[in-house]
Structure 1
């Protein structure tokens, strides 16, 4: 199964961002983007890819320990945004206190994957906290810079991530263009608990 470790923002933070981004979906060229559904918005800490059942049990145990050692909830707020070239548009995250907490948690989930045999020992996945809003249908056809400019003034309310999730990504099955994967939590652990 395809797995990743993630933090899910609370419904209030999602609703706030959804209200702000709704006008973006009506900008010129917005139809050339596949917009992600607000209920699927999340922060991927580590993407593991295909993981066997045996590795999943080991990974889950290691993630439980990483969550326990996290030191408590991670204070965050959504704000502004950016792009990955001409491929993806994203919303950013700001940390008003303990700015390194999110990076430490991502490093711990990566280490858990490495120890569970999910990542090669020499793999160094990069971490840039973001919440994907849209992906280009065809690379190079949509200029994402105007969307980034529109996202610049967004500053969401503060909230705290309280649990670490291990999530299974189920690929679309209907064959309908634009259908998105479904995300199903297979494990969740309180941060610092």
Structure 2
């Protein structure tokens, strides 16, 4: 199954960001972008790709340990940017050092469970909002995102998410995300 570790923003943060995204979708050129669906908004910590079912029990145990060794931390959706001319994203503010640590622990948990991981890259917290099929001028969208400062919330759990890729071939079909495990941060209750 195709898996990744993530921080999932709470409903209030998603609803607040959705109001801004509605404004972004009204800007000139917005119809050239493929906007991600709100149910799929997340901050990926460690992308694992296809994971052999036999590795999942050990992966779950190790992710649980990583979560328990990390204390809850504050976060909010804040600002945004672009990757090249193809991806538009919302950023984060608050406990970014804690989030990087949780990302490193999630990646290490996957490696130790035997999941082949890509080369390690410096973690950058981002929530993907839209993608372009061709090079697109995303600057007007980034300008609007840079002003955004969302509500503060406490990250209290690490989630393991399954990504179900579109299979129908229908234009605009989105991946479906399913939380297949979650662990509270800090000491187990």
User: TM class, shorter-chain normalised?
Assistant: over 0.9
TM-score by length of 2: 0.95
Q: Give the 5 Å matches for 1:49-128.
A: 49-71=49-71, 73-95=72-94, 98-120=95-117, 123-128=119-124
User: 2:127 matched to which residue of 1?
Assistant: 131
Pair 1:59–1:125, CA change in 2 (3 A): farther
Consecutive aligned runs of 4 or more in structure 1 exceeding 3 Å deviation: none
CA RMSD of aligned residues (A): 1.3
- Rounded to whole Å, the distance in 2 between the matches of 1:159 and 1:166 is 20
Q: Which residue of 1 aligns with 2:177?
A: 183
Runs of 5+ unmatched residues, structure 2: none
TM-score when normalising by structure 1: 0.93
* Structure 2 residue matching 1:157: 3-state secondary structure: coil
Q: Is 1:145 aligned with 2:139? A: yes
Secondary structure of residue in 1 paired with 2:79: strand
Deviation for aligned residue 1:82: 0.3
Aligned pairs, number? 187
Change (3 A) 1:106 1:53: same
